[in-house]
């Protein structure tokens, strides 16, 4: 019977001890932010608004109502001509790209404390569409709003530039 000898470079007498050291080294190098990352309540709040809107426009009869709800308190509602064009283009989505299937949220971005950029893949039967929502928190200089207060939609658009998803 042959005896297997450990190389002289191995200083540990017990293999499990070396394994524990290796696991500890891996744990120490694992980003702690990945473990402690909590969902952003603002992004969750605004995401709910956007997903509700996108689900509503999935049916032709829901487009007008969905825009009405989304644009409440938004300065975008003041530009009636532009919003009517967007509503008309939204109603054409079904004809151009097929029935709505599902919405896939894409990574959201916060810029500072008061600007949030949201992006969604709106999947239809024949082709996907990318929707972009930009929210800004408006308040007076002497106010301190809570996280989910005073968020206003300041930009809304959609396109079929699917490569934009990879650029961000």
pLDDT of residue 46: 96
pLDDT of residue 146: 78
pLDDT of residue 68: 96
pTM across the whole model: 0.75
C-alpha span between 131 and 120 (Å, rounded): 5
Query: Residues 27-59: pLDDT tens digits?
Result: 555 554 444 568 899 999 999 999 999 999 988
> What average pLDDT does the structure give for the chain?
84
Strand order in the sheet with 128-137: 100-111, 115-124, 128-137, 151-159
What percentage of the chain carries pLDDT values higher than 70? 77
Q: What are the phi and psi torsion angles at 75 (to 5°)?
A: -65, -15
pLDDT of residue 114: 92
The tokens describing 44, both together, are 């969750």
C-alpha span between 44 and 113 (Å, rounded): 15
Q: How far apart are the first and last CA of the chain?
A: 62
Check if CATH label 3.40.50 holds for domain 41-167: no
pLDDT of residue 14: 59
**117 SS3 class:** strand
Give the pLDDT of the chain (168 residues) as one tens digit per residue: 566 665 555 555 555 555 555 555 555 555 544 445 688 999 999 999 999 999 999 887 899 999 999 999 999 999 999 999 999 999 999 999 999 999 999 999 999 989 999 999 999 999 999 999 999 999 878 877 777 788 999 999 999 999 888 776
pLDDT of residue 157: 97
pLDDT of residue 141: 81
151: exposed, middle or buried (C-beta count within 10 Å: 0-12, 13-18, 19+)? buried
C-alpha span between 159 and 70 (Å, rounded): 18
C-alpha closest to that of 134 among 83, 74, 58, 92: 74
C-alpha span between 121 and 50 (Å, rounded): 12
Domain boundaries, the chain: 41-167
DSSP assignment of 12-36: -S-HHHHHHHHHHHHHHHS-HHHHH
């Amino acid at each position: 019977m042959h005896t297997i000898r450990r190389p002289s470079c191995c200083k540990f007498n017990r293999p499990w001890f070396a394994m524990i050291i290796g696991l500890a080294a891996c744990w120490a190098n694992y980003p702690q932010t990945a473990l402690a990352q909590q969902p952003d309540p603002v992004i969750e709040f605004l995401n709910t608004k956007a997903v509700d809107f996108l689900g509503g426009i999935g049916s032709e009869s829901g487009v007008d109502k969905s825009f009405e709800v989304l644009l409440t308190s938004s300065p975008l509602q003041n530009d009636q001509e532009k919003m009517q064009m967007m509503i008309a283009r939204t109603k054409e989505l079904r004809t151009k790209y097929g029935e709505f299937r599902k919405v896939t949220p894409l990574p959201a971005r916060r810029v500072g404390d008061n600007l949030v950029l949201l992006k969604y893949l709106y999947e239809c039967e024949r082709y996907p569409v990318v929707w972009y929502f930009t929210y800004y928190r408006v308040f007076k200089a002497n106010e301190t709003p809570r996280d989910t207060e005073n968020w206003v939609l300041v930009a809304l658009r959609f396109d079929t530039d699917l490569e934009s998803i990879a650029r961000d």
